[in-house]
Amino acid sequence: MRTYSLAIHGGAGTIRKAEMTPDLEQAYQIGLETALLAGHTILEKQGTALDAVEAAVRVLEDNPLFNAGRGSVYATNGRHEMEASIMCGQQLDAGAVAMIQRVRHPISLARTVLKASPHVLLVGAGAETFAREHGLRFEAANWFDDPKRWAQLQEARQAQRVQLDHAARKMGTVGAVALDLHGNLAAATSTGGMTNKMSGRIGDSPLIGSGTYANNATCAVSCTGIGEFMIRGVSAYDVSCLMAYRGLDLAAACHEVIQVKQTDLGGEGGLIAVDAKGEVALVFNSEGMYRAWIQQGYSPEVWIYA
């Protein structure tokens, strides 16, 4: 019997209830619900998992609360250097972009790379040229401006004088994973990276196998956290391998990758995943992760803290 599932995340990290106002908490919840609804509507109408994860991530990219698209944090050069990737579990097709500026929906550019390019990963000016050739929407630089994010950059610049890896605490990313009624899995991840990151640094979000992975035989995964540790752990693909080669179920595989392996490596973050049966896993070793999910026949769930 065919079913559908959708899970999304808005980043993992140090999210303390004491530092959150009721209004802000509500704004996060509404943001997550709206993104979930965008993907859910597609899955309910027998749309594809690929369309659903792209739609959910586009909504998160448009929301200034989340570190992706419009809400991207500032790199040390004062610019927004965004990255995204998307993968379809049916044929293992993938597309990814990094170091791109002013593209409104980086996830849709990644989708266009998947669809219209023989390549998987395009970065920088070459990726932006490709975006223009394919009619992707660009925004003026001020579309991405945000006084709060700018203040975060100034704070990080200050702190860097005494504490080099302060920026590592900012781990916002958004992502979505889905199973559709046709039995296909898909995963999508998008981010603005780390506040005050050096220009040219690429994290796990645009890297297939590290930040994003989907395979109809196993699962779809989107990671968030300190990208360097996810890259060294090849974390998204690791979940799939633990299922395929060791026979773990989705929950056990996700636990092993985040709670055991990432924790041992010194990484902090989390991941969301769905499997071919529609099971959902949302796992993190940080204080919180903005997350929401829905399974066919159940009500949506929206969570922030542990």
Could you say which of 127, 156, 174, 221 contacts a second copy (CB under 8 A)? 127
Please select the residue that binds a second copy; options are 27, 232, 296, 301, rule is CB under 8 A.
232
Instruction: Provide the CA 17 distance to its chain's centre, in angstroms.
Output: 22
| Residue of 48, 173, 191, 224 marked active site | 173
CB of 278 to a second copy, least distance (A): 24
Specify the residue, 36 or 113, whose C-beta has the smaller distance to a second copy: 113
Vertex 238: Cα angle to 237 and 241 (nearest 5):
90
Residue whose CB is less far from a second copy, 33 or 228: 228
**224 annotated active-site:** no
Does residue 151 sit in helix, strand or coil?
helix
* Touching a second copy, residues 88-107 (CB under 8 A): 92-94, 98-99
Per DSSP, the three-state class of 298 is coil
Given 42, 84, 110, 202, the residue binding a second copy (CB under 8 A): 202
| Residue 4 in contact with a second copy, rule: CB under 8 A | no
* Ramachandran quadrant class, 303 (left: phi over 0; alpha: psi -120 to 50; beta: rest): beta
Q: Which member of 265, 296, 300, 302 binds a second copy (CB under 8 A)? A: 265
SS (H, E, C) 66-103: CCCHHHCCCCCCCCCCEEEEEEECCCCEEEEEEEECCE
Residues 255, 19, 228, CA angle at the centre, nearest 5°? 40
**Cα of 167 vs its chain's centroid, Å:** 18
Residue 182's CB is within 10 A of a number of other CB atoms, namely: 13
Q: Which of 21, 147, 164, 299 binds a second copy (CB under 8 A)?
A: 164
235 within 8 A of 264, measured Cβ to Cβ: no
Stretch that binds a second copy, among 19-27, 86-94, 145-153, 216-224 (CB under 8 A): 86-94
Based on the shown chain and the rule CB under 8 A, indicate whether residue 252 belongs to the binding site for a second copy: no
Catalytic residues, which ones? 173
- Provide the binding-site residues for a second copy, judged by CB under 8 A: 92-94, 98-99, 118-127, 129-130, 164-165, 168, 198-203, 207-210, 213, 227-228, 231-234, 237-238, 241-242, 245-246, 265
